[in-house]
Structure 1
């Protein structure tokens, strides 16, 4: 069975050695083995369990294409195709979202300091 010292284990799980010591005191994660001299050792199984818990929830990948006006619909279609080709080449499972001119348009007004 592979055992890791506290320093190596801390680096692999992305916490400090002090955090591991605190977890030990709190009973959150007890070392697999503590030597007579007080050194903490953690197992491969513990490492696997912690890393599995740290994995983010399954993410959704979204491709997004946008143009400013309906006149650019051809540009939008090209963007969509380029994004799809890229995503497929990377092996991603994805959803595609496209948008035409959804920004809020404010009428132009000029202000002068004397107003």
Structure 2
């Protein structure tokens, strides 16, 4: 089985190493094992679970959050266009 260091795992799931340390502390996501050196290691199975790739899960049922933004009130039409494009991609 493949194992990832805390830095590799953090990059793969899009969080910081400190976030993983905090999750470990509160029990949200514990490392697969901790080496003799004290380094945390996460398994391929944990990666798959976190990313939602277990058999039977339908990836089309995952929620996607869109972010639309404009800098000024004059760009209000741009915001509406962005919102429509986001909804169209659903």
TM over 0.5: yes
Coarse TM-score class (shorter-chain normalised): 0.5 to 0.7
CA distance in 2, matches of 1:32, 1:58: 27
Unaligned stretches of 5+ residues in structure 1: 60-93, 95-115
Q: Whose radius of gyration is greater, 1 or 2? A: 1
CA distance in 2, matches of 1:13, 1:49: 11
Unaligned stretches of 5+ residues in structure 2: 54-58, 65-87
> TM-score, length-normalised on structure 2?
0.59
Distance apart, 1:57 and its partner CA: 2.2
> TM-score, length-normalised on structure 1?
0.47
Question: Structure 1 or 2: larger helix share?
Answer: 2
Equivalenced residues, count: 59
Runs ≥4 in structure 1, deviation > 2 angstroms?
A: 55-59
Question: Structure 1 or 2: larger strand share?
Answer: 1
The residue aligned with 1:9 is 9
The CA RMSD over aligned residues, in Å, is 2.3
